[in-house]
Amino acid sequence: MDLPPLTVLLAGPRGFCAGVDRAIKIVEEALAQHGRPVYVRHEIVHNRFVVERLESLGAVFVEELDEIPDDGQPVIFSAHGVPKSVPAAARARALTFLDATCPLVSKVHRETERHYARGLHILMIGHAGHPEVVGTMGQLPPGSVTLIEDAAAARAVEPVSQKLAYTTQTTLSVDDTAEIVAILRERFPDIEVPQKEDICYATTNRQAAVKAVAERAEFVVVVGAPNSSNSLRLREVAERGGAARAVLVQRGRDLDPSLADGCHTIGITAGASAPEVLVEEVIARLRERFSVTIEEVTVATEDVVFHLPAALRRRAAVG
């Protein structure tokens, strides 16, 4: 039986960014150098496939440091960053630790500290409870940062000081953040702005790519985890960008291919913590029901690479 034709637009860039790639390599290299187990505080990145693969290699994921025994094995902090209290607690226990915080998140941490040192109160645009937000706010004493989650909060906020700076989570919607920033700058004309955009290049590129796909697609599939901020934003951007419907799935088996029935063209993208093998699973799932033609839609080429921490590089060189 002939299968109905379906054109699949693959958004590019998609999937792993340099920060995610570095974080995963830190766990792999730590296992290679230190052996099993290597402990990881929180999910190294927000993707269960990645986490389960690393578990199979010997990584043990914990929520807090007090779950880690005193066995001399290292602990790794996730790509999202941690409050200053976490490395302080690790030092107090003489734990060996490796920091897999994305360098672009670390940039936000240092920028926030510089603003605070100059006597500014920080307005942080981000989502309450997200590990990156918790980590960034945890760089400073309590009360030094006010969280702004949306445009309504930006209109309503009454900061404790008029000497202000703003910073943002790196994985937000570019369009939503622009609206919030415009409100803050109108209300507080003297507010200090980031020296360079805080929303990372990977988030910006993936949202631009999914927009380019969504304007041509009737339906968009975003491959990513439900607790991944950048993946959730891709689904929202796809719907706003013109797709009649967009869904988030973790992998191929989670997709109901009948959702594409009646469609001529659909789009696929992947969040920054989703490996390409999961995109391939989704395509394979669609091929069970359709005769699929693939078209790449690329809006940017990425060549960013972040180096491993110096401690791992030194040991690898010696080995």
| Cα–Cα distance measured from residue 279 to residue 247, given in angstroms and rounded to the nearest whole number | 14
Evaluated on CA atoms 236, 238, 243, 249, the torsion sign reads negative
- Which token pair is 122? 């920080």
What residue has token string 């379906």?
6
Catalytic choice (132, 158, 186, 236): 132
Q: Are 294 and 8 in contact (CB under 8 A)?
A: yes
Residue 132 a catalytic site member: yes
Give the integer Cα–Cα distance in Å for 30 and 248: 32
CA distance linking residue 78 with residue 10, whole number of Å: 29
Residues recognised as catalytic: 132
